[in-house]
Amino acid sequence: MVLRLDEVSVSVETPDGDLTLLHPTTLTLSERRIALIGGNGSGKSTFARLLNGLVEPTTGRVTVDELDTVDDGAAVRRAVGFVFTDPGAQLVMPTCLEDVALSLRRSVKDRARRRREALDVLESIGLADKADVSVHALSGGQKQMLALAGVLATRPKVVVADEPTTLLDLRNTRAVADRLFSLTQQLVLVTHDLELVARCDRVLVIDDARVTFDGAPADAVAHYRASVDGAPSGPSA
C-alpha cells in the first residue's frame, strides 16, 4: 500500500501556546518494512498514529492508498492495524479467545464461525492453548502476541507497531519481532532496537518533531548515532 503524507503537521494547544509535535512533512511510504527511530518525545509515535487516523493532522493530508485518514477513517482503520507499546490497554476482554473474537464481531456475525476464526488466529501466533486463559495471566511477551493477534484478526493490509518490544525481555523481543517480520503485510515499526532497524528496507530518523534522515538502515543508524553523540548529555524531554 502507499502511505502518503502531504505537508502534514501536528500541533496541540498548551497553556504556554501551540506545541508542535510534527513539523510540515511530505513523503510517500511504499516499502515493505519501514522503521521510525529517534529519541523519546521526538515525534515518532505521533507520526505512527497519523497513519491509521489515531492522530489527525493539524494541516495537510494523510492518505492510505488514496483513502483519507480523516474523511475515510473507518476504512483506513480496517486497512491499517496498530499495535501499542503496552498491550495492557489493548486487551479488553477477560480471556484470550474473547479478545480476538471482539476484533471479528464487525466482520463475522455468526458466533461459531467467529470462534473458529479467533482460534485460527491464536493458533497462528502459538497461543491456541491459552484460548480460555485470562489475559491477565499471560506473560508480557504473550500479551504483546495476543495484542498482535487482535490486530491480525481484522486482516489489515498494513501493521503499524509502536515500540512493541520496549517492555519485553530478549527472548520475547525476538519472538515478537520474528512474528512481525514474518507478516505478509506492510510493516511500519517504531523502535529503539537498532537490531530490528537493520532488518528494514527504509528508515526514517525523527528528531525534534522533524524527519531528519530518510534512507537505508546503516546510514540511518549512523546518522542517529551521530546526532546522539553530538547532543548534550542527560535525559531528553
Partner 1 sequence: MSDVLVSTYRPGSTLLHRLPAGPKLGLLALYGVVTVVATGPWSAAGFLAFSLVLVAWVRIPWRVALRPLRPLLLVVVLVTAFQVWQKGWPTAVHVVGDLLALFVAAMVFTATTRIDAMLDAIVRGLGPFRRVGVKPEKIALAFSLMIGAIPGVMTIARETREAAKARGLERSPRALLVRMAIRTVAHAYDTGAALHARGIGDD
82 touches partner 1 by CB under 8 A: yes
Count of residues in contact with partner 1, rule CB under 8 A:
34
Residue tagged 489475559 (cell numbers): 135
Distance in Å, CB of 159 to partner 1, minimum? 11
Residue with smaller CB distance to partner 1, 37 or 135: 135
Q: DSSP 3-state helix, strand, coil percentages of the chain (rounded to 5)?
A: 40, 30, 35
Give the residue, chosen from 6, 31, 72, 86, that forms a contact with partner 1 under the rule CB under 8 A. 86
Mask: binding to partner 1, 9-48, rule CB under 8 A, as x and -?
----------------------------------------
Give the residue, chosen from 103, 142, 144, 185, that forms a contact with partner 1 under the rule CB under 8 A. 103
Judged by phi (left if over 0) then psi (alpha if -120 to 50, else beta), residue 12 lies in beta
Q: Is-contact 2 65, C-beta < 8 A?
A: yes
Q: What angle do CA 13, 208, 61 make, to 5 degrees?
A: 60
> How is residue 32 annotated by DSSP?
S
Burial of 166 (0-12, 13-18, 19+ CB in 10 A): middle
- Rounded to whole angstroms, how far apart are CA atoms 213 and 203? 8
CA nearest neighbour of 97 among 128, 139, 125: 128
120 touches partner 1 by CB under 8 A: no
Distance in Å, CB of 81 to partner 1, minimum? 7
92 touches partner 1 by CB under 8 A: yes
Restricting to residues 45-74, which ones interact with partner 1 according to CB under 8 A?
52, 54, 73-74
Residues lying near partner 1 in the complex (CB under 8 A) = 52, 54, 73-74, 77-78, 81-82, 84, 86, 88-90, 92-95, 97-98, 101-103, 105-106, 111, 114-115, 132, 134, 136-137, 150-151, 154
